[in-house]
Amino acid sequence: MSHPGQTVRVKVDVTNPGQLFACCGILEVAHRVWQPGPAQGWFADGHFFLARSDGKSADMAELVNAVVQCEAKAVPIEDPKTDPIETGDPIRLRLDWWRKSDGSTNLFKTWAANATPLQMFRKWQEALKRCVDFIKRDPENILSFSERVQGSYGFDSALSWDRLRVGFSFNEHNSLKKLPAHPAVELFGAIGLQRFFPYLDEQQQAVSYSVWRVPLTAPVAWAAELGLLPGVSLHRFTTRFLDRGNFKGLDTARIVKGGFYE
């Protein structure tokens, strides 16, 4: 069992798919950085808990520094606009969750066509770097710190604007395109999606995922996120992609009726 100092917690709204994926990403990074580990994560009482069992301090700043300082490079395959990227030490992870097996893109490729995956990743590295001092003082609210940045990966439902909700299209107002976004949600979410890719129904443009309530390592937690571990998975959620002007993004999720596991 972990002790105080070996556990950190993060405030999370699990109906925001971006925050859910970000917590998965935090667990993934801890799995790779906190060696010999293992790192374990779980959801309870409006928080995501992250624990390490090797007797060392659980420091969120260490994980943030690992993400913002790791080198990222493209893996040339077909098109720089969709090619995978690889992160260097200490994370060492290949990211290509926006690609299908045939090389085409899935619905999670929501960002502007003129932005490459490498540009997106590096942009959010720089944005998160500007939040490091705030995160050190208040790691529990890491998912709430914001920066004005143009563009998004599209899974943070806090950015779920559309022209009907706000009364006009943001694409017609250049001065409003740089809106307060959440770098930790964007960057850790981009990492979390690689292992924790949810059920995706492209025809219905729907996504479903589950949260879990017991400490699990990343290699096991992915099954719980898919709802494959009865008694471990807690709630199942569903959401859909909606239009954001010329682009798409995930809306706030809702609990699936009957989606409570005991």
DSSP class of residue 179 equals: E
Question: What confidence tens digit (pLDDT) does each residue in 205-244 have?
Answer: 999 999 999 999 999 999 999 999 888 877 899 999 998 6
Evaluate if residue 262 carries a pLDDT over 90. Answer: no
Task: List the beta bridge partners of residue 41.
Answer: 50, 216
Residue in 61, 66, 84 with CA at minimum distance from that of residue 74: 84
Residue range of the domain that includes 146: 7-260
Residue 11 within a domain: yes
Residue 135 within a domain: yes
DSSP class of residue 220 equals: H
The residue assigned the tokens 């999670």 is 108
Distance of CA 171 to CAs 20, 35, 112, Å?
Answer: 27, 45, 12
Residue 1 within a domain: no
Residue 179 within a domain: yes
Residue 195 within a domain: yes
Residue 68 token pair: 């913002």
* 42 and 213 Cβ atoms separated by less than 8 Å: yes
* 114 and 151 Cβ atoms separated by less than 8 Å: no
Residue 162 within a domain: yes
Distance CA 71, CA 160 (A): 30
DSSP class of residue 245 equals: T
Q: What is the DSSP string of 91-131?
A: T-EEE-TTB-TTS-B-TT--S-TTS-HHHHHHHHHHHHHTT
Residue 148 token pair: 């004005």
The pTM is what?
0.90
183-195 and 60-69 helices, crossing angle to 10°? 80
Question: What confidence tens digit (pLDDT) does each residue in 39-52 have?
Answer: 999 999 999 999 99
Distance of CA 27 to CAs 91, 109, 121, 158, Å?
Answer: 12, 23, 18, 22
Residue 2 within a domain: no
Sign, CA torsion 138/61/119/25: negative
DSSP class of residue 57 equals: -
Q: What is the mean pLDDT of residues 252-261?
A: 75
What is the tally of structural domains in the chain? Answer: 1
Question: What confidence tens digit (pLDDT) does each residue in 92-150 have?
Answer: 999 999 999 888 999 999 988 889 999 999 999 999 999 999 999 999 999 999 998 88
Q: What is the pLDDT of residue 259?
A: 55
